[in-house]
Amino acid sequence: MTALSPEARRRVLDTLRAQSIELPSWAFGNSGTRFKVFAQQGVPRDPWEKIADAATVHRFTGVSPTVSLHIPWDNVENFAKLADHAVELGVKAGAINANVFQDDDFKLGSVTNPDPAIRRKAVAHLLECIDVMDATGSRDLKLWFSDGTNYPGQDSIRARQDRLAEALATTYARLGEDQRILLEYKLFEPAFYTMDVPDWGTSFAHCLQLGEKAQVVVDTGHHAPGTNIEFIVAFLLRAGKLGGFDFNSRFYADDDLMVGSADPFQLFRILHEVVAGGGLDEATGVAFMLDQCHNIEEKIPAQIRSVMNVQEATAKALILDAEALAVAQAAGDVLGANAVVMDAYNTDVRPLLAELREEQGLDPDPIAAYARSGYRERIIAERVGGQQAGWGA
């Protein structure tokens, strides 16, 4: 078991105290599978109630002070008022997520569509999202494109890359001084022959071409089985192009399960590379965001649990004896180096995190505290009538 000196313990606690894990507004709405969306009691009916639920997660965890918004799912008449509402509840608006995948016009693509009029429509939405960023004070425009093809010959792969580059350049030119693009990638789905941004290399290449205000976002569910995600993280950190994470878990494909549920050791390995590469330093700008769909589990407790899973993986990465690891690596001590890593992973950090929460005036068990709070019963009683938020709402 990893033993910490008093000084090292203080450093670890200070780092964990400053950690920030962004919540997705859409995770509080109804979700499901391709076959069925499952409704739950007390689900938010609008962005105002989504933010209230996100603020509740922050109240019990202390490390989730921002909320990602999804446009148009979270459209309101006055985004400045929505941002003020968030601040009143103790949180802030986070990344603004564009949606160019749920319009009939985008069947053959959005920014890479062969029809110039449809491409203009898609770019106009991206620019509209920057308007939302201006109103909410958001830093990040997160872009994921469902664009791609299903059959060989359906469209020119090269031309689609040209169209993508043009749309990104137009959007990039509209960014404010302190704003940036986070470009996500996905191996497959909904396109199955080619995705226009299928992997980190494609995203990286476009971000390099755009400039300093464009970075890659790594969704941990968007890779082929067996992909070494921690290598991708280390590479992008080294290149200064890791903009953020969408944390979730997968068993097979883009399952969007709770982060750390399928492979907690992988989550630890990823966070180890983040720590080793200085990715927890605020100056790097790396955004740690959840992107999950809670299909059968309750929304708020699931978000709390996910935040705790990221905290635990981070704590294990922080207590790893970096000096001992470097010595073993330099000596070519394969087993010794691996033992240092496994020692940190096998350490139970829950008492350390419980201590941290108590120092912050929080309950050491956020799940139990939420269950006792009565918030669930209150929203079930109050949120009667209206249309519950969910996919596309």
190: number of CA atoms within 13 Å, CB side?
13
Residue 91: phi and psi, rounded to 5, are -130, 180
Beta bridge partners of 70: 97
Tokens of 106: 């985008």
CA distances to 43, 135, 372, 381, 383 from 375, rounded to whole Å, are 12, 30, 8, 10, 12
Q: How far apart are CA 74 and CA 135, in angstroms?
A: 14
Residues of the chain with pLDDT under 70: 1-2, 392-393
pLDDT at 238: 98
Out of 3.40.50.720, 3.20.20.150, 3.40.50.9100, 2.120.10.30, the CATH code matching 17-319+363-382 is 3.20.20.150
Contact between residue 137 and residue 83 where contact means Cβ atoms under 8 Å apart: yes
pLDDT at 391: 73
Global pTM value: 0.96
Q: How far apart are CA 9 and CA 25, in angstroms?
A: 34
CA distances to 3, 14, 162 from 368, rounded to whole Å, are 29, 25, 52
Angle at 38 between CA 35 and CA 40, to 5 degrees: 175
pLDDT at 5: 85
Contact between residue 287 and residue 335 where contact means Cβ atoms under 8 Å apart: no
pLDDT at 1: 52
- Tokens 């507004």, residue located: 25
Sign (positive or negative) of CA dihedral 342, 347, 350, 352: negative
